[in-house]
């Protein structure tokens, strides 16, 4: 029997604050008034704000109890495939919270923002060196925003040559936001299928590439966790008809310091600083999606751009071919500080080692579990591996039921039912920050769940059993959500 890290210990319920509150309680002493009391106008406010009256201990216990219901990367392993939920070193949070950074206002004049501008200027150069590209803009505020920027750059390139192109090639192993980003720029997505090895074939791209096609959006490594080995040949096919190669770099965590993106034919690449470069990820942000380009596309980068002359840094809009401004100010600065801190503390060898460990951990899980779960592509993977529930189908156990059961063992479930090209997908990304001991416990839990699927499938159909919230009626939850607590 596996020794689970989960427990059924004290699980404290938390009523609504309005149910806890009692008139007259207070956890805060207001300073003595130096003006006369003025009642609120009922015509404007009704009866005034409905704030509960709470003592200090009520408030402290409320937030502490809520925190015990949450699961995050600081709690345990978070193996979400495609998301790169790795542990984020706290030193990077510390640097981002330094008063000179955290309290600076984006409308400060340049002479009072030299430190911030210098950091962004250097971060752009580091990202260019890490990726092998030639120029970078930090302005896109998230990954999908970076995709949109990439499409706008491709559109500007063709427009500058007097060409009106209408299509973008989208592989079935691309990230799900890629077709939407292309469509937002007026392009018609042209879907193409990966081959029997889970990657693209140059012949497949050649069959759809024509003078109406602006380029291709390729995710590399792709959403199956596999490296697109034919990318150079694909780039030659696309470039031969003056198309451009956009690479979704959300999976850069697998190839830092290993792959030169420009050398393999990439023209524009977006990065997710909030995945690869150590910023807490999830919950809707903040994110950062810089775009990296070659010299051909550099004139079209968003403005303002950070320039340096004689040690003075400035934001310049003197780039007439630019696609324009993409964000109110210049992206999410706090995320940039964390990424800069991460790069500086890791160094070149550290970043390369991180990618090597991410790939090693994923392949270790793949090899340990491939006899337990169906492995649709039995070949070396990159930072993540994809299984299916095919081996459990005889016992009528699905991916979703195994994921829910995993919570009883104290692990956050992996990504399920994605990518869509794999039926019943179980997508696992351990990242480089997990130790062998923790990964072994995760593997043991999944092996035990697979055994339960044979011997006691009913327990999976009722899971989770040990969590605060038990099995939900998912249809009712989607159609009639209860938002009261």
313 DSSP β-pair partners? 308
Q: Which residues of 292-320 are buried (b: 16+ CB within 10 A; e: fewer)?
A: bbbeebbbbbbbbbbeeeeeebbeeeebe
pLDDT digits 0-9 by tens, 108-154: 999 999 999 999 999 999 999 999 999 999 999 999 999 999 999 99
Domains 90-345 and 347-479 share a fold: no
What is the average per-residue pLDDT within 181-186?
Answer: 93
Residue 176 has what pLDDT? 85
Residue 258 has what pLDDT? 96
Start-to-end CA span in the chain (Å) = 35
Task: Write the DSSP assignment of 217-259 as a string of letters.
Answer: EEESS-TTS---TTHHHHHHHHHHTT-EEEEEETTGGGTTTT-
Percentage of residues in the chain having pLDDT higher than 90:
75
Sequence spans of domains, the chain: 90-345, 347-479
Residue 390 and residue 369: Cα distance in Å, rounded? Answer: 13
Residue 391 and residue 397: Cα distance in Å, rounded? Answer: 9
Residue 337 and residue 312: Cα distance in Å, rounded? Answer: 19
215 DSSP β-pair partners? 168, 244
Contact (CB, 8 A) for 260 and 132: yes
Residue 429 and residue 433: Cα distance in Å, rounded? Answer: 11
CATH topology of domain 347-479: 3.90.1150
The angle formed by the CA atoms of residues 86, 88 and 91, to the nearest 5 degrees, is: 160
Task: Write the DSSP assignment of 345-393 as a string of letters.
Answer: HHHHHHHHHHHHHHHHHHHHHHHHHTTTSB-SS-S--SS-EEEESGGGG
| Pairing mode of beta strands 291-293, 268-271 | antiparallel
pLDDT digits 0-9 by tens, 439-468: 999 999 999 999 999 999 999 999 999 888
Residue 126 and residue 119: Cα distance in Å, rounded? Answer: 10
User: 69: pLDDT confidence band, cut at 50, 70 and 90?
Assistant: confident
How many other CB atoms are there within 10 angstroms of residue 257's CB atom? 19
CA distances from 285 to 281, 346, 364 (A): 7, 24, 31
Residue 408 and residue 440: Cα distance in Å, rounded? Answer: 17
Q: Is the pTM of this model over 0.85?
A: yes
What are the residues whose beta carbons fall under 8 Å from the beta carbon of 34, sequence distance 6 or more? none
Residue 236 and residue 225: Cα distance in Å, rounded? Answer: 23
What's 5's DSSP letter? S
Q: Of 341, 433, 350, which is closest to residue 97 (Cα–Cα)?
A: 341
Overall CATH class of domain 90-345: alpha beta
Residue 254 confidence (pLDDT) above 60: yes
Residue 273 and residue 434: Cα distance in Å, rounded? Answer: 20
What is the average per-residue pLDDT within 214-224?
Answer: 97
For residue 164, the SS3 value is: coil
Residue 381 and residue 212: Cα distance in Å, rounded? Answer: 34
């Amino acid at each position: 029997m596996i020794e689970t890290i989960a427990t059924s210990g004290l699980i404290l319920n938390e009523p609504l604050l309005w149910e806890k509150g009692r008139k007259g309680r207070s956890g805060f002493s207001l300073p003595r008034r130096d003006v006369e009391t003025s009642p609120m106008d009922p015509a404007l406010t009704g009866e005034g704000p409905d704030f509960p009256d709470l003592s200090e201990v009520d408030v402290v216990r409320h937030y502490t109890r809520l925190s015990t219901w949450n699961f995050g990367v600081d709690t345990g392993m978070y193996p979400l495939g495609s998301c790169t939920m790795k542990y984020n070193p706290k030193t990077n949070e510390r640097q981002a919270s330094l008063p000179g950074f955290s309290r600076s206002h984006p409308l400060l004049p340049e002479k009072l923002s030299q430190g911030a501008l210098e950091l962004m200027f250097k971060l752009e150069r580091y990202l260019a060196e890490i990726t092998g590209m030639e120029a970078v803009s930090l302005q896109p505020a998230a990954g999908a925003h970076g995709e949109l920027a990439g499409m706008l750059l491709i559109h500007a390139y063709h427009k500058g040559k007097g060409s009106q192109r209408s299509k973008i090639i989208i592989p079935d192993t691309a990230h799900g936001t890629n077709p939407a980003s292309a469509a937002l720029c007026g392009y018609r997505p042209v879907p193409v299928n990966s081959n029997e090895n889970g990657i693209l074939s140059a012949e497949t791209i050649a069959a759809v590439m024509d003078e109406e096609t602006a380029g291709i959006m390729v995710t590399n490594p792709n959403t199956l966790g596999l490296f697109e080995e034919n990318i150079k040949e694909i780039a030659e096919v696309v470039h031969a008809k003056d198309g451009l190669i956009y690479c979704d770099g959300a999976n850069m965590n697998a190839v830092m310091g290993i792959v030169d993106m420009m050398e393999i034919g990439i023209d524009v690449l977006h990065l997710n600083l909030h995945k690869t470069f150590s910023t807490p990820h999830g919950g809707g942000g903040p994110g950062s999606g810089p775009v990296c380009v070659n010299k051909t596309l550099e004139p079209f980068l968003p403005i303002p751009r950070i320039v340096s002359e004689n040690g003075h840094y400035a934001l310049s809009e003197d780039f007439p071919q630019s696609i324009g401004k993409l964000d109110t100010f210049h992206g999410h600065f706090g995320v940039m500080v964390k990424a800069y801190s991460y790069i500086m503390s890791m160094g070149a060898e550290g970043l390369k080692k991180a990618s090597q460990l991410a790939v090693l951990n994923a392949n270790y899980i793949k090899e340990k579990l491939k006899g337990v779960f169906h492995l649709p592509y039995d070949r070396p993977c990159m930072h993540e591996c994809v299984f299916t529930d095919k081996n459990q189908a005889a016992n009528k156990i699905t991916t979703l039921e195994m994921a829910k059961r995993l919570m009883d063992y104290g692990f956050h479930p992996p990504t399920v039912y994605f990518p869509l090209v794999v039926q019943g997908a179980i997508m696992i990304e351990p990242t480089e920050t997990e130790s062998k001991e923790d990964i072994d416990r995760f593997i043991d839990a999944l092996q035990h769940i697979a055994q339960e699927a044979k011997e006691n499938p009913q327990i999976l159909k009722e899971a989770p059993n040990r969590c605060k919230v038990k099995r939900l009626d998912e249809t009712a939850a989607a159609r009639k959500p209860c938002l009261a607590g």
